[in-house]
Amino acid sequence: MPIRFDIEPQIAALAQKTREFISEVVIPVEIELGGSVHDAPESLRRDLQAQARAAGLLAPHVGEAWGGLGLDTRGQAVIFEEAGYSLLGPLALNISAPDEGNMHLLEHAASEDQKQRYLVPLTAGEIRSCFAMTEPPPGAGSDPRALATTAKRVEGGWRIDGRKWFITGARGAQVAIVMARTSGAPGERGGATMLLVDGQNPGMRVVRDLETLDIGLFAGHSEVVFEDCRVPDDAILGEVDRGFEYAQLRLAPARLTHCMRWLGLARRAQALALAHVTERRGFGSRLAELGMVQQQIADNEIDIAASRALIYQTAWILDSGEGDASLASSMAKTFVAEAVGRITDRCVQIAGAVGTCSDLLLARYWQEVRPFRIYDGPSETHRWSIAKRTVKRFGSGQ
User: What CATH number should be reported for the domain holding residue 46?
Assistant: 1.10.540.10
d(CA 11, CA 26): 20
Give yes or no for residue 67 having a pLDDT over 90: yes
Task: Note whether residue 322 is domain-resident.
Answer: yes
Q: How many domains does the chain have?
A: 3
> Can you give the pLDDT at residue 5?
75
Rounded mean pLDDT of 137-158?
Answer: 95
Average pLDDT value for residue range 251-258? 91
Contact 338, 394 (CB under 8 A): no
Domain boundary among 241, 274, 292: 241
The pLDDT of residue 88 is above 80? yes
Domain boundary among 78, 104, 123: 123
Residue 209 pairs in a beta bridge with 222
- Based on the fold, state whether residues 87 and 145 are members of the same structural domain: no
CATH of the domain at 144: 2.40.110.10
Is the residue at 2 inside a domain? no
Average pLDDT, the chain: 95
Q: 137: cis peptide before it, omega within 30°?
A: no
Render pLDDT for 13-26 as a digit per residue (tens, 0 to 9): 999 999 999 999 99
Asked whether residue 372 falls in the same domain as residue 276, the answer is yes
Rounded to whole angstroms, how far apart are CA atoms 104 and 154?
30
- Classified as helix, coil or strand, 211 is coil
List, in order, residues 6 or more apart from 155 with CB less than 8 Å away.
Answer: none
299 and 219 belong to one structural domain: no
Is residue 220 within 8 Å of residue 230, measured between CB atoms? no
Kindly report, residue by residue over 366-382, the tens digit of the pLDDT.
999 999 999 988 999 99
Query: Do 381 and 352 belong together in one domain?
Result: yes
| Residue 206 three-state SS | strand
Both 209 and 262 in one domain: the answer is no
- Residue 171 · residue 206 · CB < 8 Å: yes
187 with 259, same domain: the answer is no
The answer to whether residues 201 and 155 touch, using CB atoms and an 8 Å cutoff, is no
For the beta carbon of residue 271, count every other beta carbon within 10 angstroms: 12
CATH of the domain at 306: 1.20.140.10
Q: Is residue 324 domain-resident?
A: yes
| DSSP per-residue string spanning 214-251 | ---STT-EEEEEEEEEEEEGGGEESSTT-HHHHHHHHH
Q: Is the pLDDT of residue 41 over 70?
A: yes
275 falls within a domain: yes
DSSP tag of 290: S
If asked whether residues 156 and 230 sit together in one domain, one would say yes
Do both 325 and 184 map to the same domain? no
Domain containing 341 equals 244-395
> So what's the pLDDT on residue 355?
94
Domain final position from 72, 97, 123: 123
In the prediction, which pLDDT does 249 show? 84
pLDDT tens-digit readout, 298-324: 999 999 999 999 999 999 999 999 889
Q: Is residue 3 part of a domain?
A: no
Q: Are the C-beta atoms of 202 and 143 separated by less than 8 Å? A: no
| Average pLDDT for 129-136 | 97
Weakest mean pLDDT among 61-70, 121-130, 161-170, 388-397: 388-397
Q: Report the predicted TM-score, pTM, of the whole model to 2 decimal places.
A: 0.95
